Structures are given as C-alpha cells and as structure tokens.
Amino acid sequence: MNTLQRDIKKFMLLALYKASDQAINDDTLRQLVRSAFSHVAIREAELSRIITELKDSGLFVGTDHPVMGMMWNLSFTGSREAKLLQ
C-alpha cells in the first residue's frame, strides 16, 4: 500500500468518526475524499478497492438503504482505530 492509499484510508476513518455515528452515503463519502485530495486524480475503481479493504478488514460497516443507497459507518473496531488517529 502506498502513502496516498494510507492517507485516504485514514481520511475515510476520520470522516466517519467525525460524523458521530451518523452513516454517510457512499457517494458523499467518495466526494469528500475527492475534495480533500483534489490535487490527485483518484480513479473510481481505486476508491472502490479502498472501501472494500476497509470493509473486509472489519473497520467499515455498510447498509444498503432502499432510498439513500449504500450507507457507511464505522464498526466498533473502526471507531477505536479512528479515535487513535486523532
């Protein structure tokens, strides 16, 4: 994993942590990353891979909402990890 990928993962963890247990829509999370890393061209596939890695490692929990689409929140482990990053 390169430095940019680590920075994006940290950013996503902290963004969800700052949301105070409010789930964030997938599109909103991706837009937040693109805004924060506007100096870098991030492919959609790269963001999908990073989100999948966070989910597979047990840090993210996703819920497919019937109206809002995929909603992301931190797992207990993800909350603990994000708290350490502050």
Domain 3-85 has CATH 1.10.10.10: yes
CB atoms within 10 A of CB 24: 20
CB atoms within 10 A of CB 53: 14
Q: Could you report the per-residue pLDDT of 21-37, keeping only the tens digit for each?
A: 899 999 999 999 999 99
Which residue in the block uniquely carries the two structure tokens 């963001």? 47
In this prediction, residues 46-67 reach a mean pLDDT of 96
Domain ranges of the chain: 3-85
The pTM score is 0.92
pLDDT for res 29: 97
| Spatial distance between the Cα atoms of 1 and 19, rounded to a whole number of angstroms | 26
